[in-house]
Amino acid sequence: MVEVYRRPRSLVVPVHALLHGSIKAMAQLEQNLTLWAQQLGFVLVGFCRIQRLDNREDFFKQWLAEGRAGEMTWLEREPERRLDPRILDARLRSVISLAYPYPAPRPPLIDWPSELRGRIAAYALGPDYHDVVLRKARLIADTLTAEMPEAVTRVYVDTGPVFEREWAAAARLGWFGRNTNLINRYHGSYFFLAEILTNIEFDAPSEPYREHCGSCRNCLQRCPTKALANDFKIEPRLCISYLTIEHRGPIPIKLRPQLGNWIFGCDICQEVCPWNNDATKAAAVNPDLAPSLAELMKLDDHLFRQRFGKTAVTRTKRRGLLRNAAVALGNSGNPAAIPLLKYTLEHEPEPLVRAHAAWAVGQFEGRIAREALFWARAHEPDPMVKAEIEAAICSQSAAKVPSATPSCTTT
Ligand code: B12
Ligand code: SF4
Ligand code: SF4
């Protein structure tokens, strides 16, 4: 079904008033755009002036120098433009910042290891937000250009070198939380950000949004990989969201146990945030947040596209998702995972997935697990997977059957 949005007539501001540029007309335009945005489903709308983000320059350059972008090399491109969007277009003057909500995660109350279920971050369910939110934000930009033909607009939803949370904070949509998400007192943080950069000069808020984290440290304490620091900063290379989505190669072995059953993104630092409590209470239980790992391990390319093709999950591709699912199976401690992993070792075409399946089998004791690894060692053609199999056999034997593998002298 194609949704059709019709801009209500009442939102139209008299063009002559705008061309006149009167304060009243600008206030009216802001109000009208806000109403239109609300009708399109945005819950927060704010306006701010573009200024170079001088206060972030040192931090960001140091961040890049430390390699914190990891495999997100696109973050290294055009750092100057990130700090000042006017480098792209000198006419730009203001940002219209928008927040579009998604349902808070409410997974079914299950014992995931016994049911072998993964977890998907709430933002990734449903149609890909890059498309949905971008389309709606463009409708607002179109309204602006319809009313003011001289208006220049550039629309972004996580689609360009823009520090989206910075502009949202400047437009008073919320504050940078200790979990580094933008949080609003009434809407929590379960929303996407979008922005329209324009040459129209909107008024900036007189005061910044006050920080409301106070003495709370829930997110720092509950982050499984200790990716969050106490100063409103994150080490992305430790973040499960990065590891399960953006990181394309093998997941560092020492971090795998911390992933638990997260197979795409992570919501923990938002789930434990008190500002999201109301949204969580209001959300309906959604079984799609906890998909069956057995089903995922059986997805071929075609089935993967069929199930996730229109969602944000495509970003990690089939091989990334199955890599993550294999890790979750290894973390389950449930021996029912072994036959699934054994099948993967024998039949999976992607070396990356076989490698993680080998690690996962290595998390289990017993004859069946050991035999699966020995079989794989004898048949595996890929050197990277072979190394994982060896490591898995060694970790098993070091912990449980010291005599099984005399070659494990290095463990
Ligand atoms: C790269 C990226 C990631 C990376 C890195 C995260 C990060 N915090 O940078 C990874 C893959 C880990 C990630 C994960 C997630 N992301 Co993300 N991500 C982005 C992206 C594309 C760029 C962010 C960026 O520029 N990072 C660069 C570095 C330098 O940013 P930073 O480390 O946070 O540093 C900032 C602060 O530290 C601040 N700062 C520096 N010093 C100080 C000092 C003080 C006192 C303060 C307050 C701030 C501050 O300045 C820096 C620049 O703004 C944005 C979209 C966009 N274009 O903005 C979405 C975005 C931030 N992500 C989003 C989401 C939804 C998520 C996840 C929740 C998804 C999930 N469920 O798995 C997680 C949350 C993880 C987390 N705790 O942050 C949303 C956030 C919406 C919101 N309400 O804030 C965005 C805005 C996308 C969107 N359009 O909606 N993401
Ligand atoms: S998304 Fe998960 S891993 Fe990343 S900072 Fe938040 S709690 Fe930590
Ligand atoms: S959990 Fe607490 S410290 Fe973390 S972002 Fe939310 S309010 Fe701030």
Among 325, 213, 209, 230, CA closest to 272:
213
Indicate which ligand has the atom closest to the C-alpha of 129: 1
What are the CA-CA distances from residue 314 to residues 104, 112, 166, 301, 345 (Å)?
Answer: 21, 23, 27, 11, 23
**Is the pLDDT assigned to residue 11 strictly greater than 60?**
no
User: How many Cα atoms sit within 13 Å of 270 on the Cβ side?
Assistant: 27
Residue 308, classed as helix, strand or coil, is helix
The tally of domains found in the chain comes to 2
Ligand 2 atom nearest 240 alpha carbon: 3
| Mean pLDDT value across residues 6-30 | 62
Structural domain containing residue 398: 292-411
Q: Residue 78: what are its φ and ψ, rounded to 5°?
A: 50, 55
Would you say residue 2 lies in a domain? no
Catalytic site residues?
Answer: 158
The last residue of one of the domains, among 233, 267, 284, is 284
Ligand 1 atom nearest 264 alpha carbon: 72
- Predicted confidence at residue 7, as pLDDT, reads 57
Residue type, 376: A
- Predicted confidence at residue 10, as pLDDT, reads 44
Would you say residue 107 lies in a domain? yes
Ligand 1 atom nearest 60 alpha carbon: 29
Would you say residue 336 lies in a domain? yes
Would you say residue 300 lies in a domain? yes
**pLDDT band, residue 409 (cuts 50/70/90):** very low
| Mean pLDDT value across residues 85-101 | 97
| Mean pLDDT value across residues 289-308 | 98
**Is the pLDDT assigned to residue 173 strictly greater than 60?**
yes
Strands 233-234 and 175-176: unpaired
- Predicted confidence at residue 407, as pLDDT, reads 57
Would you say residue 5 lies in a domain? no
Tell whether 354 and 397 lie within a shared domain. yes
213 CB within 6 A, ligand 3: yes
Integer Cα distance of 384 and 81 in angstroms: 39
Burial of residue 6 (CB within 10 Å: 0-12, 13-18, 19+) is exposed
Of 201-210, 265-274, 337-346, the range with the lowest mean pLDDT is 201-210
Tell whether 263 and 323 lie within a shared domain. no
Give nearest CA residue, ligand 2 atom 8.
223
What residues are paired with 94 via a beta bridge?
49, 198
Tell whether 219 and 337 lie within a shared domain. no
- Predicted confidence at residue 51, as pLDDT, reads 96
CATH number, domain of 386, equals 1.25.10.10
Would you say residue 404 lies in a domain? yes
Tell whether 272 and 313 lie within a shared domain. no
Tell whether 246 and 330 lie within a shared domain. no
- What would the pLDDT profile of 312-337 be if each residue is shown by its tens digit? 999 999 999 999 999 999 999 999 99
Ligand 1 binding site (Cβ under 6 Å of any ligand atom): 56, 59-60, 63, 72, 75, 121, 123, 157-158, 162-166, 176, 179-182, 189, 191-193, 232-234, 236, 239, 241-242, 245-246, 265-267, 269
The last residue of one of the domains, among 284, 316, 341, is 284
- Predicted confidence at residue 24, as pLDDT, reads 79
- Predicted confidence at residue 12, as pLDDT, reads 47
Among 357, 247, 385, CA closest to 293:
357
**Is the pLDDT assigned to residue 150 strictly greater than 90?**
yes
**pLDDT band, residue 5 (cuts 50/70/90):** low
**pLDDT band, residue 411 (cuts 50/70/90):** very low
Q: How far is the CA of 181 from the centre of ligand 1 (A)?
A: 6
Tell whether 238 and 383 lie within a shared domain. no
275 CB within 6 A, ligand 3: yes
**pLDDT band, residue 395 (cuts 50/70/90):** confident
Would you say residue 3 lies in a domain? no
**Is the pLDDT assigned to residue 410 strictly greater than 80?**
no
Tell whether 32 and 121 lie within a shared domain. yes
Q: How far is the CA of 266 from the centre of ligand 1 (A)?
A: 13
Integer Cα distance of 249 and 259 in angstroms: 15
- Predicted confidence at residue 220, as pLDDT, reads 98
- Predicted confidence at residue 402, as pLDDT, reads 47
| Mean pLDDT value across residues 128-147 | 93
- Predicted confidence at residue 408, as pLDDT, reads 65
Global pTM value: 0.94
**Is the pLDDT assigned to residue 94 strictly greater than 50?**
yes
Tell whether 244 and 210 lie within a shared domain. yes
Better-predicted residue by pLDDT, 35 or 410: 35
Ligand 3 atom nearest 217 alpha carbon: 3
Among 318, 313, 324, 315, CA closest to 255:
324
Would you say residue 1 lies in a domain? no
Ligand 2 binding site (Cβ under 6 Å of any ligand atom): 179, 223, 225, 227-228, 234, 239-241, 266, 268-269
Tell whether 235 and 370 lie within a shared domain. no
**Is the pLDDT assigned to residue 303 strictly greater than 80?**
yes
Q: How far is the CA of 94 from the centre of ligand 3 (A)?
A: 29
**Is the pLDDT assigned to residue 124 strictly greater than 50?**
yes
Q: Residue 176: what are its φ and ψ, rounded to 5°?
A: -70, 110
Residue 271: its H or E element: helix 268-271
Q: pLDDT averaged over the chain?
A: 92
Residue of 217, 230, 240 to mutate, ligand 2, most atoms within 8 A of C-beta:
240
Residue 237 Ramachandran class (φ > 0 left, ψ -120 to 50 alpha, else beta): alpha
Tokens matching residue 258? 């911390």
Tell whether 222 and 275 lie within a shared domain. yes
**Is the pLDDT assigned to residue 33 strictly greater than 70?**
yes
Tell whether 274 and 305 lie within a shared domain. no
Tell whether 60 and 80 lie within a shared domain. yes
The last residue of one of the domains, among 242, 267, 284, is 284
Better-predicted residue by pLDDT, 339 or 128: 339
